[in-house]
Every structure is written in structure tokens, then in C-alpha cells.
Amino acid sequence: MKLRSALLLVPATLALAAALLAPATAGGATARPGHAPTTLRELAKQQHIKIGSAVDVAALAAEADYRRVLNREFNSITAENAMKWESIEPQRGVFDWSGADAIVANARRNHQAIRGHTLAWHNQLPTWITDNEANFTAAELRGILRRHVMTEAGRYRGQIRAWDVLNEAVADGGGLRDTIWLRKLGPGYIADLFRWAHQADPHAKLYYNDYNLESDQAKFDTMFQVVTDLLEDGVPIHGVGFQGHLDIQFSFPDFAGHMKRITDLGLEVAITEADVRMFLPVTDEKLATQASYYSQMMSACIANRRCTEYTVWGYTDRHSWVPGFFEGQGAACLLDENLAPKPAYDALLALGGKRT
Ligand code: 9MR
């Protein structure tokens, strides 16, 4: 298989990659050199973190090579779309758990932790909700949201390591995002969500998850205030997910510093949706920058003892959301369309060693 044969080339490049990339670690808590891992799963074990990937449920069912590499490389998974509201309850009261169940079953067979994504979001809601916003009373909509959280988190009770309870509720540039939930229920919906999720699955770690927290200071500040208020009110929140959708045209943002602000509160952090996009065509130089960004995100996680997980938003360019959302951009994943590892993959393996 392509990946296996390509892996034989890794040791030759390891020393160079390590020399180039490892020193980027913030705070001096760099991984010590040690036994070089040959898979991300091995790296995860050495560093005592979960290394995960978002899973495309159609590819999981249809592509044996996709499945094989997913299960070999990752000890955690997130459903890319299959656990979102529009997927599981497309019509009111009509549930379709097939995709989510298939992902959970595959993860359990392969001893992978599961990140639940996501209980409350403003995107990928079923039309029976979005089309009826004006018709629902606040009490009715609150009941619908509560029942959704209790049903979904309850179904997978005990099987989910961490839930993205609330996704992207802060606006770009700061302030709470104007969503159906905020408009109809007011800001109190946030605490409600976490309390309901905790009731439904008391052992799951409950996260707030968002993008650009490391680069949009006003957005970070609003999130920080929300999280601090929740903690002061005794609401069960355990972590903040930094999605990590990066673009090599921008400089590498301060993950370590922003993650530390959160972990200083006693919370966990995780990189939950890492990918690093570029304008096509791909060049060696762009791939080197991409490798450095993936590696620096991992280093920031390894350096922070409360960073529990590093999940990529798809591991192969064969299945990536990027080309469909950013015109002219792509090649954002660790492996190419043929599942051959890119320099970014080697750069992550080069961080192998003992966690200090
Ligand atoms: O990768 C997901 C893509 O297939 C969907 O079409 C898209 C719809 O908004 O959502 C993508 O996943 C998003 C994730 O759920 C939340 N953070 C941003 C991700 C990329 O858009």
C-alpha cells in the first residue's frame, strides 16, 4: 500500500524534519527525542493525547483504504456531519441514527475514543426548525432543544469522551452570535445546554467549540467571558475546543498563549478540527509551511498538560470540506488524495518522544 511504502522513507527525513520543526514548541516543553513513532496512533500513545480525525460516513462505508488508514492512524474520531441535527432528525420526530451509529460502531471496534459533534449549532439545522422560527414560542423552542440534547447525548451515554455541546456561538469580531437560539431563548440557553448534556451523559467532557479563537482577540474575549460566567455559576463545562482551521497565507497564530488562558481556569483544551489550506497549485514551499503549521499546533498541544486531543478535520485531501468552501484553495490535509503522507504527516511523527 502507498502509505506503508512511503513510511519506509520517513526515517531518512526524520532528523531533518525534527531539527526544522520541533524547536517551534512554545514554553520550552518540547518533546524529548525518543523512539520514533511510525503512526499517529503511536505518537498519541507516547504523548498521552488523543489524535483524531473527522470521519466521512460515506467514505467509511465505501472505501476500504480510507477505513484501513483511519483505523491504523487515529485513536479518536469525530463524526464530520453524521451527528448534526439535520442528519439525525431531518423531519420532526423522524430519527435516522444510521450514520452516527456506524461511526460509533467502527470506533468501538477499533478502540478509538469518540468526540461528539455537535449538540447545538446554528448551521446544519433541519428545515423544520429554521423554516418555523417565527411560529415557535420561546418555551416550545426551548423544549425542542432540550429534547434534542437529552435524546442524542442520552443515546450515546457512556460512549462519548467529549461532546462539542455548543459550536460557534460567538460572532467573528466578538459578541454573541445572532442565532435562532440567542434570538428566541436569550443568552441563558448556553447554561441550559451544558446542564442538559451533563444530565444526559454525566461522564462526558463538555466543551465549547469555535474557530479563530487563537487569532480573533475580540472573539476570544467574548468566549472567555462566557466560559468564566459558566464556571462561576457552577455550570458543568470542562473544556474549550480550538478548531484550528488555518490558512498558510496568514501567519501562525498564538495557540499556546490562548490555550493557556483557558487551562489556567482549570479547563481542558483540545485542537478539534485542524487543517491547513493553501491556494492551489501545491508547491514544496507551501507544503513546508503547511507542515510547520500542523507541527506548531501539535507542539502547542503537547506543551500544555491540559491539552487532551489533536483532531484533524479529515485526514485526506480526497475528502475535505476546503475546496467546496474556499475557491481556489485545497490540499489542506495530512495525506493526499491517494492517502500518501505529505510533509505535514512526517512533521507530526517527528514530534515523537516522551511528554515532559
Ligand atoms: O466539514 C463539514 C462540511 O462537510 C459541511 O458541509 C459543513 C457545513 O457547514 O460543515 C463542515 O464542518 C464544520 C464543523 O462542523 C464546524 N466547524 C467548521 C467545519 C468546517 O466548515
pLDDT value at residue 15? 37
356 falls within a domain: no
Cα distances from 128 to residues 47, 153, 327, 344, in angstroms, run 44, 21, 31, 42
Quote the pLDDT of residue 24.
36
Catalytic residue list contains 42:
no
Q: What per-residue confidence (pLDDT) applies to 35?
A: 82
328: left (phi over 0), alpha (psi -120 to 50) or beta: left
125-161 pLDDT, tens digit each: 999 999 999 999 999 999 999 999 999 999 999 999 9
Q: Is residue 355 included in any domain, yes or no? A: no
Domain extent at residue 26: 14-349
Locus of grid cell 451533563? 198
What are the residues whose beta carbons fall under 8 Å from the beta carbon of 307, sequence distance 6 or more? 49, 259, 263, 268, 269, 270, 271, 300, 301
Return the pLDDT at 12.
36
- The pLDDT, as a whole number, for residue 25 is 37
pTM metric for this prediction: 0.91
Which residues is 269 bridged to in the sheet?
240, 307
* Residue 130 domain-assigned (yes or no): yes
Query: What count of residues does the chain have?
Result: 356
Helical residues (DSSP H) of 204-320, grouped into ranges: 217-232, 255-263, 284-303
Domain assignment present for residue 270? The answer is yes
Question: 209 in a domain, yes or no?
Answer: yes
Angle at 303 between CA 3 and CA 332, to 5 degrees: 40
Total of domains in the chain = 1
Distance 272 CA to ligand 1 centre (A): 12
CA-closest candidate to residue 50, choices 302, 309, 274? 309
Asked whether residue 3 is assigned to any structural domain, the reply reads: no
Residue 324 CA: which ligand 1 atom is closest?
6
Q: Is 80 in the pocket of ligand 1 (CB under 6 A)?
A: yes
**Sites in the chain below the pLDDT cut of 50:** 1-32, 356
Atom of ligand 1 nearest to the CA of 243: 17
Rg (CA), the chain: 20
DSSP labels, 10-76: HHHHHHHHHHHHGGG-GGG-PPPP-SPPSSHHHHHHHHTSEEEEEE-HHHHHH-HHHHHHHHHH-SE
Region for residue 34 given its phi and psi (left: phi exceeds 0; alpha: psi -120 to 50; beta: otherwise) = beta
Whether 210 lines ligand 1, by a CB cut-off of 6 Å, is no
pLDDT of residue 11: 39
What is the spatial distance between Cα 146 and Cα 201, in angstroms, rounded to a whole number? 13
Active site residue 273: yes
The helix (H) or strand (E) run that includes residue 206 is strand 205-210
Q: Is residue 137 part of a domain?
A: yes
The CATH number of the domain holding residue 303 is 3.20.20.80
Answer whether residue 72 is part of any domain. yes
